[in-house]
Amino acid sequence: MADLNAAKKLINEFMYKEYGEVSADYSDLTNVGLAYTTTEDGHFDIEASVDLLRYSISLIIDGTPVKITRYENIEALIEKELQYLDFEELVFVSDAELQKITLPEIQPKEVTGFPGPNKANESERSR
C-alpha cells in the first residue's frame, strides 16, 4: 500500500506541475489519465495513462493503444517512469506508432520496461 501511495504522490506532483491540478482521477486504478493532446494537424487524439494495478504506461491514439510499457512491479514503475514524468515524452508519437492507426492490422507494441530508462533519456535522468 505504501508503494501505491508513493506512486499517487508522484502522479499528483506531475499533475500539479503540468496542469495546476492537485490530484489525478483515481476512480479506476487501471486507467489513470496522465496527458492528453492532439497531433499537430488535429486529426488524432493522443493520450497517456498509467495502470497502477498491472504496472504499465500506455500511449493511446484515437482510442487505440499503440505502445504499452510494462514493469515487473510497482517499484519498477515508480523507479523507471513515475519519478520522471514529462508531458512531452508521454505524448510523443513516432511515425511508426501513428501508422498503427492508419494501418490497423499492426498490433500494439509491448515493451518490457525493467531494463531501465531508454538511452535517449539516461543522460537527462542522471543529472
Write the pLDDT tens digit of every residue in 32-52.
Answer: 999 999 988 888 999 999 999
Q: What is the mean pLDDT of residues 11-19?
A: 96
- How far is residue 67 CA from its own chain's centroid? 9
Q: Give CA–CA dist 23/16, Å, rounded.
A: 7
Residue of higher predicted confidence among 105 and 62: 62
Residue 94 is predicted with a pLDDT of 86
End-to-end CA distance of the chain: give it in Å, rounded: 29
pTM over 0.85: no
* pLDDT (tens digit per residue) in 47-95: 999 999 999 999 999 998 989 999 999 999 999 999 999 999 999 998 8
> What band does 97 get if pLDDT is binned at 50, 70 and 90?
confident
